[in-house]
Structures are given as C-alpha cells and as structure tokens.
Amino acid sequence: MSGYRIETAGRVNRAAPLTFTFDGVGYSGFEGDTLVSALLANGVDVLGRSFKYHRPRGAWGAWFDDPNAVFSVRLNGVEMPNMIGATTPLEDGMELRAVNAFPTAKSDIKGALDLFNRFLGAGFYYKTFMWPDWHLFEHPIRKMAGLGALDGKVIEDFESDQIHDRCDLLVVGGGVSGLTAARTAAEAGQNVVLVDDHAELGGTAFQRQLIDGVAAADWVGQQVAAITAAGGRMMANATAFGVFDHKLVGIVQNKGFGRAPDLTRMRAKRMVIASGVIDRPLTFGNNDRPGVMSLNGAAELVARYGVVAGKKIAILSSHSEVDHYASVLRDAGGDVEVIEARSTNIQALGKKRVNGLKLDGRRVACDTILTSAGLAPVLHLWRHAGGKLDWSETANAFLPAAGPDWISVTGSANGIFGVEAKLADVRAVVLGSDRQARTASYKATPVTPDPDSKLRQWVDFQHDVTVKDIALAKRENYVSVEHLKRYTTLGMANDQGKTSNVPALSLMAKLQNKPVPEVGTTTFRPPFVPVPLEIYRGAHRQQQFHPVKRLSLEAQHRAAGAALGEYGGWLRPAWYGDKEADTVKVEAKRARETAGFFDASPLGKIEVMGPDAEAFMNFIYYNNMATLKPGFIRYGFVLTERGAVFDDGVVARFDQNRYVISCSSSHVEGMSGLLEAWRQDGNDPDRVFVHDTTHHWSTVTVTGPKARDIVGAVVSGIDLSAEAFPHMQFRLGQMNGIEVRVARVSFTGDLSFEISIETGKVAELWQAVSDAAKAHGAGPMGMEALAILRAEKGYIVVGKDTDGETMPHDLGFGAPRLKKKAAFVGDRSLHTENANREDRKLLTGLAVSAGETPLPEGAHIVSRQNGKMKSHGFVTSSYDSPNTGAPIAMALVDATLVKDGAKVEIFHLGASRHATIASPVFYDQQGDRLNA
C-alpha cells in the first residue's frame, strides 16, 4: 500500500466519483482516471503477472509505454479481454480481473514457475519439447500461453465507422509543441487536424507550473480555443497508429468501453509529429518489481491524476532532465531522494512491493524506485513513413535524421527540451522558416547492464526477457536484432517493445563490442498501439462485404415456394418445396418425363462486336469460332495462357461482326475481364468491342420431352420443329409482341429452349411459361435438380469438375489442340512436357451399384503399394440419380487407371469402398433425346 491521491494536483473530476472492483475487491476513483491511475491511487501494488514466470508486476508507465497492467474488464454484461490498463479510461461499475493470474494477481498459483527460471531461458521451448514430437506438448503449452480469454459472446452493435478525411496539416500529439503547431497553422489559414490519444489535450504540459508565463492548464485552454476559432479540428482519444503508402495515416478513435472505435483514413499533405518521449528503463537487479516505475510516468500520474506513486521515493536516473521530474514529485509533497545511476550494480529489494534498494553495497530505504536511463523519442510513425534514425551519443537515444519531406518531427520527439526552444522550432516548422540546430543542452549517460551479473535484470517486462537471455542469444549466434527478437520473443508483447527494444540492442552492441547504430533496430510496423480488427472491417460485413446478385424473378420464386441458395454469387432457387431430397428428385424426374423450366437469367450474355470480332473470338476460344455461321451456336472452352480451362459455354453468332458469349453464370466478371485484357493488350481496341449485357436480358429455360409444346404456346414467329430449328441454333421471335431470343442449347441432355427477354419483361415470360407448363404436368425446377440432370449427361461445371491443371484434352476435347492452325490463348501450353504426360488426370465417370450411397465428393481414388496409399485423383461431382436408378459420379483420375469397367478403390475419411470406371455419360448415351 504505497500509492496515494493528493488534492492539489491532477486533472481528474473530483465531483464525479466512480466505483469499480479489481480481482473482486471494491475501490473508488474519479472521472478522468485510467484503470492504472485509479488502482495506484487506492494503494494497489500488484496489478498483474508476467507472461512466462508469473512474476508480480505493478505499473511501469502511466500511458502507452506500460507493458504490465493488462486486464479483463467487464461492464454492463460486456467483457473485453486484454484492456491496456494505463490507457483505458475508468468507467463506473467496471469489474477488472488481472489476466494471466489465478485466482488473483496478488496470489497467483503459477507464481511458483519463477522458481524454475534457471531452466526456462530463451529458446527453452524450442530445445525441450522437440523429442519425440512437439505436437505431444503443443496442446497444454498453448493452453498455458496467452493472456485474457474471450467469453465467446458477440457484443451487440460493435461496429466501427470508417471515415475518409483529408487535411493540409496533420499534427500528431497534443502537447506544448503539437498545440502550438496546430494553432500556428490554423491561424495561417491551413486546414488542420490535431490528433491526441488522451481525453484531455495538453500532453505533459500539466507537469509544468507555467507555460509562456501562463498557468499550464490555462495555456492549454487558450490554445484549444484559438485552434477552434481558427477553424482547426482536434481529435481527442485518438491515436495515429500507422503511416501507410501515399501519405495515408490511420487514426483510431476510442468511443468508450464496449464500443467499437472509429477508423479515420487521413490523407494529409503534411504531418508534424510531436509525439514526445518515453523513459528508457534502467536495467538492474529485480528491476521488474512492483514499485519500480518510469520517472516520466510518475510525474504524469501526479500531473494528470493527482496520484503519487509512493511514500518514500528513490529516483535513479542518468540524464539531465531529472531535476524537472524530481520537482514535480517534490511539489506534490513526495519524499524524494535523487541518485545518479552510474553502474547497474543495483538491486531492488522486496517481492510484491519494493521495500528498499541495494546500491554499491549501500542500502537505501524506499518503497518506490523511479528510473530513467534516458528519454527515448517516440518515432514509430516517422519510421513507418521511411524516416531514418541517427544514434545520438549525447542523448544516448535514436533521433530523427533524413526522411520524407512531408513529415517533420518536433518537440521532445526531436530531442528538443525546454518550452522556449520547442515553441521556436515548431513555428519554424509550420511556417517554413529555417530551423535552429538542436542544442546539446540535454545529455544522457549510457548505463549498460553487466551481462555477467548474477542478478536477474529485466529487459522486456511483459515477455520476461532478461539480460541473461540476451547474452544466451548472443552465445548461440542470434546476433541480428531480428533474430534476437524472434529467439527471445523480445518486444513481441502487446507493447511491441516500446520500452525494451533500445535497451536490448544497446546490450547486444556491448556484447559484440559494436557501436549501437551498427546493431540497428528491428522494423517498426503499424499499429503503434493494439487496435481491434473491427476497425478494418467497418461496413464490410455480410451483404455489404459480399452482396449476392438477385434475380428479377425472386418474388415469383418465393411465391412458388422456392428454397433460395447462393449459386455462383447469385441467390437462386435450390428447389421448390419444403423437403430437399424428395423435392429435388421429383423435379429431376419430372424434367425427363414431361418438362421442367428454370430461371437461367444469370447465364452470361457478353457481346463481342466490331470488324475484328471474328479474329478476336477465334483467338480467345480454344475451338474454332471463325467457321461458326450466323444463326448458329457452338460450345467451346476458354483457356488461360497456361492452358488450363478457364470457362466453358456456348457462343452464338448473330452476324459477321457480332457474337454473344453465354459463359458460366459465376464467371461473367472473369470472362469480361479476360476479354477486355486481350482486347486492349494485343488487339486494336477501336476494332473490337466487349459489352456485358447479362443484366439486360433474363432467361427462362424449358427442358424435357414436352418443351417444344410449352415454348410453342408462349413464343410466336418461330418454327420450332426439329427440322426447321435443330439443336445448336437460335432464332428471334416474339412473346405478346415483345422480342425474344430462343436458343436450342441444352445443359440437361433433353430437348431444351432458352428463352431470353429484356429483363423488365421477364415476369410476363415466367407467367406464360408457368401457365403453359401446367397444361403438360410440368413444373419449375431448382439448381439442385439441374445439377443432377447435367451430371447424368456428364456435362461439367468448370471449377467443380475441373481444377487449375485441367486442360481441354483431359475432358475429351482434344481435337482443336491438334488441328487448330490459328493462334489462341493458351495454345503453346497444350504442347509442353506437362501437357503430354501420360498420367494426366482425365474426367471419367464412376459407377456404383443401385442401393449404395453416393460417393462422397472430394473422396480420393487410391492405390496401395507396400502398405502405402497413393492418391490418383478425386471425385468431383456425385449425386443420387433418380433417372438412372443408381448413384452417379464424375472424377478426375490418373489416365493410366482410366479403363472402362476397371474397379478402383475410393478412400474418404478413413473408410474405403469401391467403384467402377465408366463413361461420364450415364443417361441417353446416344443423344437421341437431345436432338429430338
């Protein structure tokens, strides 16, 4: 019980007391507190446990640099794991629990792990759990790892807004420098946005009595008022978390507990970074004990929250700004002793709270040790943007060097201390005048830890990386900082090494007898603070993320009792009725016996026009499209340049210079993209044009022995007889005076007519077909029945019955490969060693006996040799066929196994069965029904 609240300092609202609990104990705080400041004000010492050794931990910092205080927080039935205690505002009624500790942070049963620290050094897991197999250990280890746990509940309305914004000048940081930058620019007429992560702007200004001769809080108020008056905007509770390509800055703005933060994508013409400094921890024995804190953090606790970290404070520091911080604590009534840190032969005493300090053999009584081995500029955004760093020997820190010209770093982040010097530099930056060189008024003396010391000295507090671990990494030659980081997990906790990276690489430099800059830093990557994935999702959810395409006839389908499902991006009838299996079989059988009709509107209808259309189509298609006569239709394949089947479908030729491509429903965008690519790259785009009219035309297909009668009752102006209108031709006619296109093509193997009409009139067509069908006992059918009918005929679906390696000759369409003279897409790839292999996977049918269950799709065709199983292909489509009376299947199978009547073993999920290789055409093999 060491921290306490004073009345004379702090920005908290004492008129608004709040209550909360931590590990089941009740406490109180004020509006304006963070979780950490409120706990420290209540004298709580142990706020959490470290990740690996479960060592007791207090707060190290008072803001984003704190790696220790992580809580699971519950409020109003909402639980959020892994809240950063130092930056989360306190709200009334919050219930806090320490993560990685059970039952409480103060008495954690896994605390005993620390006794085994000698055996748990860096690389322990890699070395220990390799034998006989890591997977034996993986489950319990993964269970032990990690911090807070999700409660599995969905938080209602947890939705981020994504805001796109722009400005002339973005100022990051609302301290003395940032406020001055924003005011100066706004008053000069610029569109200014200032971003600061605190609820109240001011940065560390409240640590000072006077700024520019005015009381600090008043000065801050004056700047805010002036910025507002000049039209500048300020975003509080907002963190600029990353700089991305082309001057994009990501800003996350917190909205309070349980609410999703907003994301602002800010395009700034210029940016001023005034993000301040954090303390570099001093590395010494047991420097992770509760009560060892950042000096700057302790001053902020006083200035913002009126909280003094301890009753008897020892300051261990090695830089020239120490007097300022000491005075903040003394002014708050603190009992402060300042000790200059020269060696690291120092040891903190006490276990769950510091109770003293051993220094060169001398014992100092204290309950709090405030340390700073130097002030480290916060330069993450500068590094994201490609800015360079220089190592400053006097500051013992990285300072900004050359970098992108649209960004300036100013204030203490640029190594400038003292209000006057800051104000002068900021104005020079904003107004574009010459900047003064940094004065060397600030100095920090390096105090590097002794790697041979017997003391346990912490470098990364959260991930428990000690000096010993870094020395071990060096001995095992993990000397590159990137290797060091991954081997020891240094800097990989939620604080991403804000406090640990510079001490670690300074130590590595010492171990290697190299200057610090030669060791280098690890890559700085966004986000600067943890952000919920929700901000990236935003409105990209459900239908807004993946909108389904909807049919004009959706209302009619629903009225007819359709069960709708997604097929190739379209919401289409799966079947009509209640029960899947029966209904689908009824529809599939009826279509063969009388007729069925279905909504085929998603079928592609891409027009290719122009004087070069013939040559273009002949180049795009595997099949010869130059010899196709007007009024005729041809089935064909489009390949990729690698020779794989990209799409199949029919092409209708309207006249010499006009084709309509009827590609697969799900490939329309891909096909029109492919056509455009070749049109513009390699052809004269003024002589051939591509126009996708899929949405302009809707299609109703009628199939079955009675199809001609039904279509004849609907369409006029066309002689539908088999002699006048054979298979693979099309005609133009009318329905109630409206133009319709009728194509005799079939995806079922039965006599079929596709009737296309302008989309606005399709309801009339559907009604007319429904009425005519009724007279013949025919009815509508869904996609599932259609899938069975096409499979009974061995008709493929590209992407289902083919994969990225399937070439047309694998599907039985080998003629153009050998005979076509003209160039076409993918031609040369059909004659490579790979294309000529004798064990290519061919499309084949697989037969099983009536009464068996259908083969599982995805099941493998296997052989066994010496007890080892080998895959030779897989089942691509499989259905129970009501028209053949037995299950049917298609598969892609190694050509050497494809012999009609051969028995093959089928393996799926541990079970084996057998099937017979057969023709994929299971129904009407002569095609009599098709040409009827």
Partner 1 sequence: MQRFPCPFCGLRDETEFFYAGDLGKVRPDTTQPVSDEEWSAYLNDYANVKGRAKEVWVHTACQEYLALERDTVTMDVLSVTQFRKGEI
**Which chain residues interact with partner 1 by CB under 8 A?**
244-246, 248, 265, 386, 641-642, 672-673, 676-677, 680-685, 821-824, 827-829, 832-833
Strand partners, 566: 571
CB 45 within 8 A of CB 2: yes
User: What is the rounded CA–CA span in Å between residue 821 and residue 624?
Assistant: 9
User: What is the rounded CA–CA span in Å between residue 678 and residue 620?
Assistant: 8
Q: What 8-state DSSP symbol labels residue 302?
A: H
Q: Which is nearer to partner 1, 245 or 578 (CB)?
A: 245
Residue 185 CB, shortest distance to partner 1, in Å, is: 24
User: What is the rounded CA–CA span in Å between residue 212 and residue 209?
Assistant: 10
Q: Which is nearer to partner 1, 685 or 854 (CB)?
A: 685
Q: Which is nearer to partner 1, 494 or 640 (CB)?
A: 640
CB 264 within 8 A of CB 82: no
Q: Which is nearer to partner 1, 736 or 836 (CB)?
A: 836
Residue 248 CB, shortest distance to partner 1, in Å, is: 5
Residue 566 CB, shortest distance to partner 1, in Å, is: 22
Residue 582 CB, shortest distance to partner 1, in Å, is: 44
Q: Which is nearer to partner 1, 222 or 683 (CB)?
A: 683
CA 284 from centre of chain: 40
Q: Which is nearer to partner 1, 358 or 687 (CB)?
A: 687
Q: Which is nearer to partner 1, 680 or 912 (CB)?
A: 680
Helices (H) and strands (E) in the chain, counts: 23, 51
Residue 163 CB, shortest distance to partner 1, in Å, is: 14
Phi first, then psi: what are they for 863, rounded to 5°?
-125, 160
Q: Which is nearer to partner 1, 503 or 816 (CB)?
A: 816
Q: Which is nearer to partner 1, 821 or 903 (CB)?
A: 821
Q: In what order do the strands lie in the sheet with 549-550?
A: 549-550, 570-576, 562-567
Q: Which is nearer to partner 1, 405 or 434 (CB)?
A: 405
Residue 828 CB, shortest distance to partner 1, in Å, is: 5
CB 797 within 8 A of CB 790: yes
CB 45 within 8 A of CB 354: no
Place of tokens 């032969």: 345
Residue 728 CB partners (closer than 8 Å, separation 6+) = 632, 633, 634, 635, 650, 744, 745
Residue 492 CB, shortest distance to partner 1, in Å, is: 26
Q: Smallest Cα–Cα separation from 780: which of 766, 792, 762?
A: 766
Q: Which is nearer to partner 1, 403 or 733 (CB)?
A: 403
Q: Smallest Cα–Cα separation from 391: which of 244, 284, 514?
A: 514
Residue 637 CB, shortest distance to partner 1, in Å, is: 17
Residue 482 CB, shortest distance to partner 1, in Å, is: 20
Q: What 8-state DSSP symbol labels residue 444?
A: B
Residue 822 CB, shortest distance to partner 1, in Å, is: 7
User: What is the rounded CA–CA span in Å between residue 800 and residue 722?
Assistant: 33
User: What is the rounded CA–CA span in Å between residue 329 and residue 308?
Assistant: 7
CB 725 within 8 A of CB 750: no
User: What is the rounded CA–CA span in Å between residue 280 and residue 215?
Assistant: 29
Residue 676 CB, shortest distance to partner 1, in Å, is: 5
Q: Which residue blocks in 356-480 are alpha helix, DSSP H? A: 380-384, 419-431, 467-475
Residue 813 CB, shortest distance to partner 1, in Å, is: 19
Residue 643 CB, shortest distance to partner 1, in Å, is: 10
Residue 549 CB, shortest distance to partner 1, in Å, is: 17
Question: Helix, strand, or coil here: 346?
Answer: strand
For the record, the structure tokens of 919 come out as 């023709």
Q: Is residue 215 within a helix (H) or strand (E), and if so which, with residue range?
A: strand 214-215
Strand partners, 316: 339, 371
Name residue 513's amino acid: N
Residue 613 CB, shortest distance to partner 1, in Å, is: 16
User: What is the rounded CA–CA span in Å between residue 47 and residue 68?
Assistant: 8
Residue 575 CB, shortest distance to partner 1, in Å, is: 35
Q: Which is nearer to partner 1, 229 or 677 (CB)?
A: 677
End-to-end CA distance of the chain: give it in Å, rounded: 95
Residue 672 CB, shortest distance to partner 1, in Å, is: 8
For the record, the structure tokens of 774 come out as 């009724």
Q: Which is nearer to partner 1, 686 or 723 (CB)?
A: 686
Q: What is the DSSP string of 515-560?
A: -HHHH--PPP-S-SS---THHHHTT-SHHHHSPPEE-TTHHHHHHT
Q: Which is nearer to partner 1, 574 or 606 (CB)?
A: 606
Interhelix angle 481-488/501-511, nearest 10 degrees: 110
Name residue 226's amino acid: A
Q: Which is nearer to partner 1, 146 or 682 (CB)?
A: 682
Q: Which is nearer to partner 1, 150 or 822 (CB)?
A: 822
CA angle 242, 248, 252 (to 5 degrees): 45
User: What is the rounded CA–CA span in Å between residue 375 and residue 850?
Assistant: 80
For the record, the structure tokens of 716 come out as 């006029």
Q: Which is nearer to partner 1, 292 or 807 (CB)?
A: 807
CB 715 within 8 A of CB 631: no
Q: Smallest Cα–Cα separation from 398: which of 528, 519, 530, 526?
A: 519
Q: What Cα–Cα distance (Å) separates residue 773 from each residue in 698, 781, 892?
A: 19, 12, 38
Phi first, then psi: what are they for 106, rounded to 5°?
-70, -40
Q: Which is nearer to partner 1, 655 or 684 (CB)?
A: 684
Residue 690 CB, shortest distance to partner 1, in Å, is: 8
